[in-house]
Amino acid sequence: MSAPRSHGERRDNRRMLRKLVVVTLAMFGFGYALVPMYERICAALGINVLTLAERNATGAGTGTAANTQIDRSRTITVEFDANARGPWDFKPAVRSLEVHPGELTTVMYEFRNVQDRSMSAQAIPSYAPMQAMSYFNKLECFCFSEYRLQPGEAKRWPVVFYIDPKLPRDVKTITLSYTFFEVGGKTPPTPPARRAAVKSDAPA
C-alpha cells in the first residue's frame, strides 16, 4: 500500500487543479471572443467576408450581393462618366444604373492605350453632388492603383460599390466621374523622320 499523501502534497495538487481550471476558462473565453473581434477588424478594414453558401445565395452574374441593410423603399440613379486626358480610350461599360441604397453593385470601365509606346496612368474619381462623396463606398476600384499599359493594351476594370442608406433622401442622382491622368505627364517622343526634318530646317 502507498503511503498516505501529506498535507503539503494535497495542497499542491489543489493549487495545480485551480491553475488548470483558470487556464481552461481563459482559453474558452479567448476562443469565444475571437469571432466578434474578427468581425470588428473586417468591418474596420472594409473587408466583405462571405461564406461559400452566402456567395452562392447572391446570384452569380447579377453583380449584386445579399445585404440585409438594403433600403428598397427608394432608388438612386448612378451615372458613370469618364474623362480621357490624353491619347487613349476610356469609358464605362454602361452610362447609368438604378440601385437601392445599401445594394452592392459592380460596374465595368474599359481602357485602351492607343499609343505606340507604354505608359503609366492612374484614375482620379469625382462626385456630383459633392455631398454624395461621403456616402459612396467603393470596395474595389481601379482608381486605388497605378497601372502600366503596353502599346495597344486594353483593360476592363470593375468598380464595386454601395451607397450608404444614410444618404439624404433629397439626393436622387449621383454622378461618378473618373479622369485618367498619365503619371509623370510624359509625352510621346518625336519620330526619327520628324527629328530629321526639324534639324534640316534649323538655320545654319
Per-residue pLDDT, averaged over 120-131, amounts to 91
Bridge partner residues of 157 (DSSP):
109
Rounded mean pLDDT of 128-132? 93
State the average pLDDT for the chain.
73
Per residue in 59-70, pLDDT tens? Answer: 333 344 445 489
- Domain ranges, ordered by start, for the chain: 10-47, 76-182
For 192, the enclosing helix (H) or strand (E) is helix 192-201
Compute the average pLDDT of residues 131-159. 91
Residue 95 and residue 134 in contact, taking contact as beta carbons nearer than 8 Å: no
Q: Which of 4-13, 23-32, 103-112, 140-149 has the lowest mean pLDDT?
A: 23-32
CA 149/CA 86 separation, integer angstroms:
14
Reported pTM:
0.56
What pLDDT was estimated at residue 183? 81
Q: What is the pLDDT averaged over residues 141-163?
A: 91
pLDDT in tens, 46-63: 444 333 333 333 333 334
**Cα 31 to Cα 56: distance, rounded to the nearest angstrom:** 28
DSSP 3-state percent helix, strand, coil across the chain (nearest 5)? 30, 30, 35
Rounded Cα distance between 96 and 78, Å, is 5
The fold adopted by the segment(s) 76-182 is Ctag/Cox11 (Pfam 04442) (2.60.370)
What is the model's pLDDT at position 55? Answer: 38
**Contact assessment for residue 108 and residue 160, using Cβ atoms and an 8 Å cutoff:** no
Residues 178/81, Cβ–Cβ less than 8 Å: yes
Inter-residue contact 110 to 156 (CB < 8 Å): yes
Grid coordinates representing 149 are 499599359
